[in-house]
Every structure is written in C-alpha cells, then in structure tokens.
Chains A and B, each alone.
Chain A
C-alpha cells in the first residue's frame, strides 16, 4: 500500500512539475499534425477523440468472501469436511502498457467525456495465502496421513478483459492542470482461465470457470499540458467487480499416503470474492 501511494505521489509531482514549467495557459485546441490524425478527426470529429498512452500499474485487491469445498467425492469426504476453508486469494500488482481513449462529449463546457482503457489483456495470476496455501488441505484421511503437500501460493491464471467505460468530467478547462473525476462501469470478462498449481494439475487441468460480471469504476486524474497538443495524465481508477464466483471442478490429485489410489478426485472448490483493482496510469497523448 505504501508503494502504491509513493508511486501516485511521484507521478503527481512529476505532472505538477511539467505544468509549472509552462506558466501561460495552454492553447484552447491545438490539432496535431501527425499522419492519420486527419482521418481520425474525420471519423470522430475535431477535438473529440483523445488518448493517453503510457504505463498502467494495476494493484489488485481481492477481498475473499469464501472458499468453499462442495460436491466432494467420497474419497475426499473422508479427508476433508465440505464447507468454508481458511485462506484468501490475492494477485500481485503488475505494470503494463495501456492507453486511455476518451471521447469528448458535446455537452456543456466540453468537460464531459467518455473514456475507456485499452491495452493488452492482463494475465491475472490468482494466488492463495493463508491456511489453504500453507497447510495441506487434506492432511489426513480418517487418521491416515495423505501425504498431500500444501498447495502453495500459485493457483491459477486467467486473462481478463475488463472493458471499462467511464463518464468523466474535467475541470479547469482553461488551465494547464486539469483535474477530472469520473464514474463508470466495467464488465469482467475472463478467458484462457486455467489452473497452474502443480499439485492440482498432476493428472490434468481442473476445469476452472470465473463468472463474467459487471462492476463499477471510480476514477480521478489530472491532465497536465506538456507542449503543443501533448498532455500528460495521471489517472487513477478504482475498479470493483463484487461477488465474483470462481469454480474449480474435476480436480484430481495424488495422495502419496494413500498409494492404493492412483489419483483422488477432490470435488468442487468455489471461490467468492470482490475483485477490486486500483489502476494507476501515467501516460501522455493528445486530442485529435
């Protein structure tokens, strides 16, 4: 968390420094004269479409509601009780290129726009911590040590397309520093979801499905005019998809302590959590 704030503070300071180096107000609209820019203007209109390309630092914050084992196989039921398990999921922060694309709405003073974020779909590495990761889930079956090791932290990966659409209001449109705020929706769309845990994948990959679900986005940022058509932007989004359900089925593991069984079917594991993400984007761009 400290690191997150440090980054944000650093970015803000950089932007302020950029803005303060140009005391005079920015031009009202300075159309860029780059190849293709005209075409874009032709498609979307003049002074409508803008982008900020840069780096997005995503800080996932997964609030685990429950990890529940159910539909246990007969064998698994000997070793573990169905129901809630102790532990939580998490995912590491990641930095990746991204672009904010906005479209200035023809309303009011021109400070309204809709924005989205475009980038390579992030690979979400779902990890676990706590008892579920550090201790064997099935230590004993009827008093017989199963030999099943602790799962460890790595559980699964998924690629996520969380299309984010926000309605943004910019302020101080005549100033070099233009703060803005926005609200919007996101839709969690995952694909290429698969379990990566070596214990869970010894015989095959369990079937892992993650609910596709709408969420909400709160956004705040600061545009700083750099030069000509160029602006630098610090954008912070809080993206929340509440109550996401992930279900793992057809899981087979080896229980070395029960050598008569070549493999042991586990049953279903259901994970429910709020998938929250703090997405900090530092970028630069211009308006077509």
Chain B
C-alpha cells in the first residue's frame, strides 16, 4: 500500500506544483527520489508531529495542498489537538497519511499499534477518514484525497498487502462510496482497510459451506456510504463488519448507527479488536489469530451464527 501511495503521490506532485509532502522523520530511503525530484516541496520537519501539522496548516492556508506522513499513531494521536484546531477548524486541504496502521507494527508493541485512530479522527468535524483495503485502493484514495477541499486521514498499511482489485486499478473509485466486490445474499461482509483481503478469504470459505455472502469494501468510514449500508441491510439478514481497530467508534459503530437510525433490524456481527491493549509481543498475524480476525475464525463464527 505504501508503494501505491508513493507512486500516486509522485504523479500528483509532478502534475501539480502546489502539492507538498512533509514527513516527521519517517521513511528512511523511501523518499530519496522525492527529495531529488521535488526539492523544497519535500520537507522532513524532524521528530515533531505537532509542528508538522502546524506547518502543513500554514502552507495550506497559503494556497498549498499538503500531505503529512509518518507512523500512524504519531501523526494522529500525538498531535490530535493540532489536527483539530489547525486543520479541521479552518477546514484546510491537508491529508494525514498514517503508515503502519492497526497492528502492522505488531511486535513493536502497543506504542506502535493504532487501534483507536479511526474513532477519534472520525469525531472531528470536517475530517474525512479513508482506510484503503489494498494497494489499488491506496493509490485511488491518494488521488481522491488530493481533490478534497478539507482535511483527510489516509490510513494505510505498510507493504506486502494482497491485491484484491485488478491491476488495472479503480477508475471509478470515489471517497465516500463503498465498493461491492461480490453480490450475495443472507449475509454481507463489510470490511475496511487491511481486513479486505481477509473478507474475501472468509467469503471463499463460506462459499464452500453453501453460504454466499455479499462483500463490500467500505474504504471510507467517514462520511459513511449510508445508502449502500441501508441497501445491504435491507437485502441481507446479517451484516458483519471487519476492521483492524476497536469496535467502539470504528466501522462497527458507524454501520450499527446507520442501521439503527434507519429503523432497520438487521442483525450485526462485529469482527474487531477488543477494548484492551496487547499484553505481549506478537506479529500482526499472531495478534489477529488471538483476536479471532483470521478468515477461518470469521467464517466459523458466522456459520455458528455469531
């Protein structure tokens, strides 16, 4: 996903001389070409996430469009109040790119996990929250973010994520519009971010047992594609949400809110991280297993009806 983001951003910065990239000392060697190609429009502001947001705000209020880049917990939670006051309050076109979101940096420990970012950033007025599900979505979301009038949080993994969409990319990708990957019935798997490939795997497993679920990539958590959720909730008896994030304030909350407020009584199942910090070292895969986020766990729980 990171590579897809970088490729797309390179193209954007080549086209548009008003676009800047700031990093808070993250991306060793990743930005070597950027520095050569874009000179002063690439700036490492040092280990200074709060200053990075302020500098981005100053640039954006002067007619520039800015991407800030760093490890997800630091560029979101560390400088949350700068994001609120300096970006969201004046509604400035700055995209915060959080790399290694969720449990990507599993073994690094809790400081490097980002399991609450979607909840807190979604609470901010004017903020758009996008969690691409594969490299193609990451590239398309970068293109989409560069067209927004206000702030955006782009929550991406790191590298090696499985491609879900075709190589030809996603010409019709729109921030705020979910993507129906499989038509199905009875149950819908609605996934955001890096859980998208797992949703596909779980759907394959379910198909072997005669269940053919609908699969939705809900890459944008805010604003939620409520029309799509209501459509799915009307046609399917159960909606399962999948996310590498706590359920409270994440996709699970957003989808449940939408269903309840629409007066529907569709059953919901949430596959999310529990309301707790990790208590041991563990890779992303290990921690997903622990919390029942493997495809087999998901399919099994669905088959046993929750």
Q: Check if A and B associate.
A: no
